[in-house]
Amino acid sequence: MEIRNREAQTPFTTKDGSTIRSLLDRSNAPVTKQSLAEATLSAGAATDRHYHRLSEEFYYLLAGRGLMEIEGEERELGPGDAILIPAGAWHQIRAIEPLQFLCCCAPPYAHDDTYFE
């Protein structure tokens, strides 16, 4: 059985500029097909607009409010909202208030699968 506690995971900054804690991924468990992380953005901050060639992502907002842009379409988000980001889709999230959200990637998140304009 693989169990990881959030507090035991060291936060780091991803290639797109968000701060994440890997909850379960290749770095801390025998994971092969997906990854789960908690991400945070301070009020007014945003990720760099990017896409992933391989990974499909889900974001699930835990706290705060933000603006999600996917392929030019923008929507406001709040706690309880879940977002599908298809592989290959340009996207960016901007924090209106401090944001805390879960990010699930399949295949697992990799810096090498993050591409910019």
| Banded model confidence at residue 14, pLDDT cuts 50, 70, 90 | confident
Q: What is the pLDDT of residue 85?
A: 98
3-state DSSP assignment of residue 113 = helix
- Whole-model pTM: value is 0.93
Q: pLDDT tens-digit profile of 66-116?
A: 999 999 999 999 999 999 999 999 999 999 999 999 999 999 998 899 999
Tokens found for residue 50: 């990017």
State how far the Cα of 117 lies from the Cα of 106, in Å rounded to an integer: 22
Sheet hosting strand 91-95, strand order edge to edge: 73-77, 66-70, 91-95, 50-51, 115-116
Q: pLDDT tens-digit profile of 23-76?
A: 999 999 999 999 999 999 999 999 999 999 999 999 999 999 999 999 999 999
- Going 35 to 80 to 13 to 45, the CA torsion angle's sign is positive
Provide the pairing of β-strand 35-41 with 99-106: antiparallel
Average of per-residue pLDDT across 1-29: 92
Q: How many CB atoms lie within 10 A of CB 55?
A: 22
Residue 47 Cα to chain centre, angstroms: 9
More confident residue, 15 or 22: 22
What are the chain's domains? 14-116 (2.60.120.10)
